[in-house]
Amino acid sequence: MIKIYDYILSVNCYKQRLMMSILDVPFESIPIDFYPGWEHKSEEFKKINPLGHIPVIDDDGFMLRDAHAILVYLASKYDPTGLWYPTNNPELIGETAQWMLFAEGTTNTASAARLHVNLGYEFDIEACRAGAHRLFRVLEEHLWFREQENLGWVCSGEQPTIADIAIFPDVILSEEGGVARIDYPALRRWTDRVKRIPGFVPMPGIFPVGDARPISHEGEANA
C-alpha cells in the first residue's frame, strides 16, 4: 500500500489525499509533526527528503517527493481511464503541464500566505497576497471563458485533470492566508465543481458543497 508522509493541514499533502481518494487508491498516512514540531526539517526526515518538504510517497519502495510530481505519478499509474493525466493528447498534456506550473505559482503565493498566517513561516505576506491576486485574476478570466464554451475545467477537455487537483487546494484555502475570493465568482463556481467530483474528500477548512443538478435537467454544464 502507498505510504504518504503526511500532515493534515498541508495543502500539498491534501492534493495527494484528494487524488488518491478520487482514484480510489488505498493509502496509509504517516503523520509528520509539521507544526509546531518542524519534524520535516529534522535530520531524521532529511534522510527521506533532503529538501525537508512533505509530502513524500513510498509506493512499495518507490520514493517520490514534490506534490505536483506525485500527482503525475499517481494519475499515470492508477488512473486506467488516462483522463487525469492525458498523455495520449499532445495539446491537453501541454495544457496540463502549463497549469501545473501555474499551480507552483498559487502554492508559492496563496498557500505561502496561509503558511505565514497559520503555521509560523516567515514570508513577505503582502507580496504573497498581491501575487495570489494577480494569478487569481488570470484564472478567473480563464475559467469564465471556459464556462462560455460550456467547459468547466482548467484544461480544455471535458474532464478534470491533475491540474485542477493541483490548483484547487491553494485556491479554496486562500482566505486563511487573507486572500479573499469575493472578486472571483467564476473561480468560486469552479471550486463547487471540483467538490462535486466523485470521491472528493474535504480537509479542515474545506467544506462539502450542495448537490449538482440532477442528470434529468441536463444542459447546464456549469451547474
Binding span for other proteins by CB under 8 A among 3-11, 16-24, 31-39, 186-194: 186-194
Distance CA 12, CA 70 (A): 10
Count the site residues for other proteins by CB under 8 A.
Answer: 25
Q: Does 182 bind other proteins (CB under 8 A)?
A: yes
Q: Does 130 bind other proteins (CB under 8 A)?
A: no
Cβ 144 to other proteins shortest distance, Å: 5
Q: Does 31 bind other proteins (CB under 8 A)?
A: no
Q: What character string, x for contact with other proteins (CB under 8 A) and - otherwise, covers 198-217?
A: ---------xxxxxxx---x
Distances (CA, A) of 120 to 36, 52, 141: 8, 16, 33
Cβ 207 to other proteins shortest distance, Å: 5
Reduced to 3 states (helix: H, G, I; strand: E, B; else coil), residue 65 is strand
Binding span for other proteins by CB under 8 A among 35-43, 79-87, 88-96, 141-149: 141-149
Q: Tell me the angle at which helices 125-148 and 162-172 cross, rounded to the nearest 10 degrees.
A: 130
Burial class (CB in 10 A: 0-12, 13-18, 19+), 155: buried
